[in-house]
Amino acid sequence: MKKQVFILFFILFHTLGFGQEITFKKKPEYMKYLVHYGVLDGGEMEFQVDEGLYQIDGKICHHISLLGKTIGMVDWFSSIRNEWHSYIDTTNGLTYKFTRNIKENNYRKVEQTIFDRSNNQAIVNTKVDTSSFKVDNYNTLPLTQDMISAYFAFRFYDFEDIHKKDTLTISVFLEDKLFSFKMRYLGKEKIKTIFGKKTKAIVISPILPENKIFSGKDAIKAYFSDDAFRLPLKIKAGLWVGSAEVDLVVYK
């Protein structure tokens, strides 16, 4: 179950919002999140936006990293140590390079995806052993994102022209598949966060297929600060057994 909530954390933020120049309000930027099931803390995740810029295939890019790991009693039974990196074009917010270093119990995967925007392809290099990689090519769509770049594009989406219950869709490529994610806009609420008891937040919910993990209508809700920074503040997930939350605990 904990792995599903880790995956949920990334998928929740996949929405439209491309085409404008991406300039982060603050650099460097650091966010830390705590995953918990009731009173049990199960995991931590850290976002980092580097201060410098990087050149990928002739494009000037921001570098965003994400680290996810299990903690406490959960880590005793099943260990996760995952690392993702995304390089996002400063001019249009599209990803050009995405890497994953996955460590889940005894499972290991090292993978690099290069997005060929001219030919709408994803070139995936997967590590086979210490000295060789397997290379595969996949077709994508013009605005396809990776897991991290999709979230950061959301932070620049204009919500002035969207109405409650409207649906947003985005294509996201991961590993060897192109996914289409649909999100429902639920309006705005005031919630308790590290910034205070009445933080105004934008609320969205993924439209889920039938599954045996999440329960109820709008079973998953993601809360973003309703300001220029559009920070992800909280995720609430109703499960068939209990519930799970992801909370922002450090921002600097």
DSSP string, 167-204: EEEEEEEETTEEEEEEEEEEEEEEEEETTEEEEEEEEE
d(CA 52, CA 58) in angstroms, rounded, equals: 16
Element (H, E) at 5: helix 2-11
d(CA 50, CA 18) in angstroms, rounded, equals: 21
In tens digits, the chain (252 residues) has pLDDT values of: 344 444 444 444 333 233 334 445 556 889 999 988 877 888 899 989 888 899 998 999 999 999 989 898 888 888 989 999 999 998 888 999 999 999 989 999 999 999 999 999 999 999 998 889 999 999 999 989 998 888 776 666 667 778 888 887 778 898 899 988 778 889 999 999 999 888 999 998 887 766 666 666 777 888 988 887 888 899 888 766 677 889 999 998
d(CA 92, CA 51) in angstroms, rounded, equals: 18
> What pLDDT score does 215 carry?
64
**Structural domain harbouring 216:** 2-251
SS3 category, 100: strand
**223 contacts 235 by C-beta, under 8 angstroms:** yes
> What pLDDT score does 166 carry?
86
> What pLDDT score does 220 carry?
84
Q: Which two tokens stand for residue 189?
A: 């609420």
Tens of pLDDT, residue by residue over 215-231, are 667 778 889 888 878 88
d(CA 236, CA 249) in angstroms, rounded, equals: 15
Sequence-separated (6 or more) residues with CB below 8 Å from residue 119: none
The tally of domains found in the chain comes to 1
Question: What single letter denotes the amino acid at residue 91?
Answer: T
> What pLDDT score does 200 carry?
93
Which candidate, 159, 139, 170, places its Cα nearest to that of 230?
A: 159
